[in-house]
Structure 1
Amino acid sequence: MKDKRILYVSSEVVPYLPETEMASTAFNAARKAHSKGVQTRIFMPKFGVINERRHQLHEVIRLSGMNLIINDMDMPLIIKVASIPKERMQVYFIDNDEYFKRKAIFTDEDDKLFEDNDERAIFFAKGVIETVKKLNWAPDIIHIHGWMASLLPLYLREYYKEEALFSQSKIVTSIYNNDFGGTLNTGLIDKVKYDKIDDSKIEELQTPSYINILKNAIANSDALIKGSETISDELTQFIEEKEKPFLDYQTEETLTEAYLDFYANKVLAQQ
């Protein structure tokens, strides 16, 4: 795996957000791959709770400045970057004042999902892909963590399917036990249709629950990893039906070798 390129895209990453199973796993997977000579990039949303001064984030002017179209609206894309101390790893942050400036992550003070979480997820997916295009950095593997990143497989396979930079990229999605309860804005499917993505590719998004969003990500991925020790029976069955390369849950102690072996012998080995 030395000198291979892996793009890690996660809803959460430590040390920028509080430690959760996903935030730690995404960070450790990238850090340990990096330590083995793998070229890595990490992307995450620039939530308003992230302390820019403490973590020394700065805007990358040459990458910022474009507008992304979200449901017929021009939304400015701002790219910020930080380096993880001691690791010599760069983390890129997808930012937009309308979507990410608020001092909360996914829910309001009443613990209700933000009404625009669907648009934030679309913006994040497009923002990652457009930024990687500007970097002209073709990843061998794109590893997805978290539901806010889970529209990226769909957009890469459909909206950006003619993009040569990603023609050889394999998508790996990790499945976690972090159901947000309820559904996102039911207008999500119309906003995805606005991007001329075929109806047959988004049937699961008619009811944008956590399960259905992850089903869509699974359907558009090349390989899957069980990120939590237990996940829903419905997702487990859906994964089995797809018969794609699958790696069972790994502890922090076994993660490094297991992930790298999976990447090399199951993911990249696919035609």
Structure 2
Amino acid sequence: MSVRTGSRIAVYVVMVASECAPAAKAGGLGDVVFGLSREVEVRGHAVEIVLPRYEHMRYQDIWGFQVSYEDLWVPWFGGAIRCTVWFGFVHGRRCFFIEPHSAENFFGRAEHYGYADDVNRFAFFSKAVLEFLLRTNKRPDVIHCHDWQTGLLPVLLYEQYQQHMPWQRVCYTIHNFGHQGVTGDWVLWASRLGRLEHFTHPDRLGNGYGAVNLMKGGIVYANFVTTVSPQHAHEVRYSDQAGGLGHTLYVHERKFGGVLNGVDYETWNPETDPLLPTRYTADDLTGKYHAKARLRHRFWLRERYGPIVAYVGRLDQQKGMHLVHHAIFHTLGHGGQFVLLSSTGHQQDVNDHFWWLKNHLNDNPDCHIEIGYHEELAHLVFAGADILVVPSMFEPCGLVPLIALRYGTVPVVRAIGGMIDTIFDRDHSLRPAHERNGYVFHHTDEHALESALHRAISLWFSSPEDFRELMVNGMRADHSWATPGQHYVDIYDFIRHPG
């Protein structure tokens, strides 16, 4: 419950998510959960995080790992599944990890996602979280849920647990409308919601033809819904980027908004980063040039005069991989070197293509393709590269270019989602010169990418001083969690006291 601290009320928040960096991270969601939790704590509030206990986590980043609750029985279908709940500190954050002991082995797998029963796994997780809060008498003021994996939780809270948790409010943040947790109505029986006609109605979870949409349920039942940038909030309301949920967002528009994600500057900061050969600041970039030399050595690139262009992200069509392919050869043809650091995606044809490309370019002294994401290596790429390409087809926020800005790496981005809110073209933006920080293109064809990437490479060669100024502009901008953290605290206050 809330406690008064001085002249303000401290809020007790429980974050529920499938990721929290660095212990359990598959993408930007993990960074957001960790960074936002820390910022809310810095502002004087109490935050706990509840996650699945995956077999493959970075246990070296969890301190004091121990059993917190040994026999948590979670009703599921006609019986119950026993769970063990673990506790540990993830770089100061208080985290609970739910481990189901079931024949399905829900979270004892090689990857976080990508399985045929993903909906089953995370629907159970949502149910287990509420059982854990109920049995341990935890009564947070706000339960902050993230993405489709937790979309069923607000439904369960208000349809099953209201008697025991009448004052709990839910903030639901959607990071990616591309994955919504669409499944059959069996999930209603599994979680003991029942009442098929009630829940499969189009005004609730119904997705047509008896299907159930967990993300839609989260939108309908949460007290407030956010996505990860104001621009993306507009796009999903007025274009097809909501993946069929545009009408639902229209119906619930009074409780929907966009809050731009921040970057955790405790983790991503060249002034303090222990993973760099030499730290550096906007006033002294010497360390960045040391990082560039180390990056070349690490990836067997030859020493030469020219920029390094990088791509950091998943192998996913969403990320504009056909344009990443083109960026590689455009860079190599115009005097630059290219580095790709990427985790595999769920589209096998994309994975296969880039594995082929890796073999094809294996002996090229100006290109290195690293398939298999490593957090420590990402720090070196952000610091050592001169230019970063982010040619996404859609991009709700765009954390990668924000991290690049902090490290003085100039982003070349497509004008979509949160990147419209944060990256301002050096040559064409109406912003003041000191706020211009990268290059922007609008269309999805190769010529559009070239129009921006070529300008970046050309400036690097023709006017090093102007390129350095662009780097420094990015480093001096504030994209920390300070402002978005306050926005979320305001949302918490609003849903607790809507009057």
Q: Into which bin does the TM-score normalised by the smaller protein fall?
A: 0.7 to 0.9
Determine whether 1:199 maps to 2:194: no
Q: Which residue of 1 aligns with 2:139?
A: 138
8 A contact 1:250–1:258 mirrored in 2: no
Alpha-carbon shift at residue 222 of structure 1 (Å): 0.7
Q: Which residue of 1 aligns with 2:116?
A: 114
8 A contact 1:70–1:119 mirrored in 2: no
TM-score scaled by length of structure 1: 0.83
Q: Answer 1 or 2: higher relative contact order, Cα 8 Å, separation at least 6.
A: 1
User: Percent same amino acid at aligned positions?
Assistant: 18
Equivalences for residues 78-157 of structure 1 within 5 A: 78-85=84-91, 87=92, 89-97=93-101, 98-107=105-114, 113-115=115-117, 117-157=118-158
Q: Name stretches of at least 5 consecutive residues in structure 2 with no aligned partner.
A: 1-7, 263-478
Q: Which residue of 2 aligns with 1:20?
A: 27
- Residue by residue, what CA displacement relative to the aligned partner does 1:91-143 show, whole Å, maximum 9, x if unpaired? 01111142111222122xxxxx333x233223211211122223322111111
SS in 2 for 1:216: helix
Superposition CA RMSD, Å? 2.5
Q: Which residue of 2 aligns with 1:259?
A: 488
Alpha-carbon shift at residue 242 of structure 1 (Å): 1.6
CA–CA separation in structure 2 for the residues paired with 1:248 and 1:174: 9
TM-score scaled by length of structure 2: 0.47
8 A contact 2:61–2:90 mirrored in 1: no
Change (3 A) 1:79 1:182: closer
8 A contact 1:33–1:260 mirrored in 2: yes
CA–CA separation in structure 2 for the residues paired with 1:207 and 1:257: 37
Change (3 A) 1:182 1:152: closer
8 A contact 1:119–1:188 mirrored in 2: yes
- Residue by residue, what CA displacement relative to the aligned partner does 1:234-271 show, whole Å, maximum 9, x if unpaired? 3344222124423313131331121112222x322225
73, 76, 85: which is aligned to 2:82? 76
Change (3 A) 1:65 1:216: same
CA–CA separation in structure 2 for the residues paired with 1:42 and 1:19: 17
Aligned length: 255
8 A contact 1:12–1:146 mirrored in 2: no
Tell me which structure has the larger Cα radius of gyration: 2
Q: Which residue of 2 aligns with 1:173?
A: 172
8 A contact 2:15–2:33 mirrored in 1: yes
SS in 2 for 1:28: helix
Change (3 A) 1:198 1:57: farther
Alpha-carbon shift at residue 26 of structure 1 (Å): 1.6
Change (3 A) 1:141 1:198: farther
Q: Which amino acid aligns with 2:25?
A: P
Q: Which residue of 2 aligns with 1:6?
A: 13
SS in 2 for 1:106: coil
